Amino acid sequence: MSESDPAGLIVRAARRASSRDEFMAWLLVRYQDLEQCDESQIAENLEIPRADVPKLALCLRPRPKTFVEDIAALAAKFNCDASKLANLVRLAEAAGVMQATEESESGAGLLIAARKRNEHVEEDERQTE
Amino acid sequence: MIDRAKLLQLHRQLLKGSRTASEEIAAILLSALTNELCGDFRHLDPARVSDGVTDAILDYSTHPGSFDPKRSVPLDRFLRHNAWRNVANIVRSEKRRRQREGIAAGMAPVVELHPAVGNPLQNEITKRQQEQEREVASLDEPLDREVQKLRQSGERRTEAFAKILGISHLPEADQRREVKKTKDRIDKILRRKARDPQ
CATH number at residue B85: 1.10.1740
Clarify whether residues B87 and B137 are in a common domain: no
**B171 belongs to a structural domain:** yes
Mean pLDDT, residues B3-12 taken together: 95
**Chain A contacts to B (CB-CB under 8 A):** 1-6, 9-10, 12-13, 16-20, 22-24, 26, 29, 55-56, 58-63, 66, 70, 73-74, 77, 103, 110, 114, 117, 121
Angle in degrees, CA B117, B120, B126, rounded to 5: 70
Which one-letter amino acid corresponds to residue A115? R
**B26 belongs to a structural domain:** yes
The per-residue pLDDT for range B19-50, each reduced to its tens digit, is 999 999 999 999 999 999 999 999 889 999 99
What is the spatial distance between Cα B50 and Cα A30, in angstroms, rounded to a whole number? Answer: 24
Clarify whether residues B190 and B154 are in a common domain: yes
Q: Which positions in chain B touch A70 (Cβ < 8 Å)?
A: 19
Q: What is the CA radius of gyration of chain B?
A: 24
Q: Which positions in chain B touch A23 (Cβ < 8 Å)?
A: 22, 58
The per-residue pLDDT for range B89-133, each reduced to its tens digit, is 999 988 888 888 877 776 655 555 555 555 666 677 777 788 888
Complex confidence, ipTM: 0.79
What is the spatial distance between Cα A7 and Cα A1, in angstroms, rounded to a whole number? Answer: 10
CB contact under 8 A, B62 and A22: yes
The model's pTM is 0.65
Contacts of B80 (CB under 8 A, 6+ apart): B33, B36, B37, B56
**B110 belongs to a structural domain:** no
**B136 belongs to a structural domain:** yes
- State the Cα torsion B108-B92-B161-B145 to the nearest 10°: 30
Clarify whether residues B13 and B83 are in a common domain: yes
The per-residue pLDDT for range A65-75, each reduced to its tens digit, is 999 999 999 99
Mean pLDDT, residues A26-55 taken together: 95
Other Cβ atoms less than 10 A from the Cβ of B112: the count is 7
Clarify whether residues B10 and B78 are in a common domain: yes
Residue B158: pLDDT above 70? yes
**B165 belongs to a structural domain:** yes
Q: Which candidate, B35, B58, B53, B51, places its Cα nearest to that of A5?
A: B35
CA distance B35 to chain A (A): 6
CB contact under 8 A, B30 and A10: yes
When pLDDT is cut at 50, 70 and 90, the band that residue A2 belongs to is: low
Shortest CA distance from B195: residue in chain A: A121
Residue B16: pLDDT above 90? yes
Mean pLDDT of chain B: 86
The per-residue pLDDT for range A83-117, each reduced to its tens digit, is 999 999 999 999 888 877 777 766 555 555 555 55
Q: Which positions in chain B touch A62 (Cβ < 8 Å)?
A: 19
Q: What is the DSSP letter of A61?
A: P
Shortest CA distance from B176: residue in chain A: A19
Clarify whether residues B10 and B86 are in a common domain: yes
**B113 belongs to a structural domain:** no
Task: Select the residue from A9, A15, A21 to test the B interface by mutation, using most B Cβ atoms within 10 A.
Answer: A9
Shortest CA distance from A17: residue in chain B: B58
Clarify whether residues B136 and B89 are in a common domain: no
What is the spatial distance between Cα B79 and Cα B59, in angstroms, rounded to a whole number? Answer: 10
Poorest-confidence range of A5-14, A53-62, B173-182?
B173-182
How many domains is chain B built from?
Answer: 2
Clarify whether residues B76 and B133 are in a common domain: no
For residues A26 and B171, the answer to whether their CB atoms sit within 8 Å is: yes
Shortest CA distance from B172: residue in chain A: A19
How many interface pairs between A and B have CB atoms less than 8 angstroms apart? 91
Clarify whether residues B127 and B172 are in a common domain: yes
Instruction: Give me the pLDDT at residue A3, please.
Output: 52
**B50 belongs to a structural domain:** yes
Instruction: Give me the pLDDT at residue B76, please.
Output: 96
For residues A88 and A42, the answer to whether their CB atoms sit within 8 Å is: yes
Mean pLDDT of chain A: 85
For residues B171 and A29, the answer to whether their CB atoms sit within 8 Å is: yes
- State the Cα torsion A90-A45-A18-B44 to the nearest 10°: -170
Clarify whether residues B191 and B139 are in a common domain: yes
CA distance A15 to chain B (A): 8
Q: Which positions in chain A touch B38 (Cβ < 8 Å)?
A: 3
- B92 burial level (CB within 10 Å; 0-12, 13-18, 19+): exposed
A3: left (phi over 0), alpha (psi -120 to 50) or beta: alpha
Clarify whether residues B13 and B90 are in a common domain: yes
CA distance A88 to chain B (A): 16
For residues B11 and B75, the answer to whether their CB atoms sit within 8 Å is: yes
Clarify whether residues B59 and B135 are in a common domain: no
Poorest-confidence range of A42-46, B46-50, B119-123, B156-160?
B119-123
Range of the domain at B133: 121-195
**B107 belongs to a structural domain:** no
Clarify whether residues B134 and B58 are in a common domain: no
